[in-house]
Structure 1
């Protein structure tokens, strides 16, 4: 479950959320709160030090920007779903996938810089936080 939350928060999207029937503004607000909650959880879990706050802020900004970008695309998709052609429908999924890929790269860049400066004990915390839950059970 933790790995799923990490993935969703870090990237800021899920295909299931795109199909939610809740109105976009309230769904968007809930999603932003979820990302903010995950930023706080990861901050505590990774034991971010005062010296790391500047780099952590960049990671958190990327997480929030990714969520905002994906939320916007999902809202557009939701608003246009009934009038889209098949090609437009596929294009909207492509736009979401492209934003997901670009967001993943931005997060990788921001987090890699933070991770590189972490001591070994903190890297172990990060490794565990990003490891799939199934790997924890082994």
Structure 2
């Protein structure tokens, strides 16, 4: 089971300070697919009921919007990497970090509203995918 926070951290481990090569268009296109897959997977894992559909839709929208925002910023960063000054480079990282923080807050708000209405057994189902990966193996 993958941690739900993977949907919130689209930066990926391969991004580095000095990386300058532009990703291919297929990278940008295919990054949205795992988000949609994750939305579907979480929907099933959390056993979202029809009564929860509206609040779940908000969570799913936040997940998709966060991924698109970060993808767009990373694409801009890669497209401009060869021309950026050191300050512009740092600024682009700051924009990505800021968008990640804002996206995390939006996810917290949307998910908190859903979680508050869940019955306790469903909350337990929801808690597991949000734990750190190492907690899943214990």
Larger helix proportion of the pair? 1
Q: 1:61 to 1:11 in 2, by over 3 A?
A: farther
How far 1:22 moved relative to its partner? 3.4
Aligned position for 2:135: 135
| RMSD of Structure 2 on Structure 1 (CA) | 1.7
Q: Distance in 1 between matches of 2:100 and 2:13?
A: 11
How far 1:135 moved relative to its partner? 1.3
Q: Distance in 2 between matches of 1:80 and 1:73?
A: 11
Of 6, 9, 17, the match for 1:8: 6
Listed as ranges, the gaps of 5+ residues in structure 2 are none
Task: Please tell me whether the aligned partners of residues 8 and 14 of structure 1 are also in contact (alpha carbons under 8 angstroms).
Answer: no
Q: Distance in 1 between matches of 2:77 and 2:95?
A: 10
Q: Distance in 2 between matches of 1:17 and 1:43?
A: 29
Give runs of ≥4 in structure 1 deviating > 2 Å. Answer: 10-22
In the TM superposition, 1:1-138 aligns within 5 A as: 2-3=2-3, 6-14=4-12, 16-17=14-15, 19=19, 22-23=23-24, 25-138=25-138
TM-score by length of structure 1 reads 0.90
Q: Distance in 2 between matches of 1:65 and 1:17?
A: 20
Q: Deviations over 1:37-65 (max 9, x none)?
A: 00000000000000000000000000000
The number of residue pairs the alignment matches comes to: 135
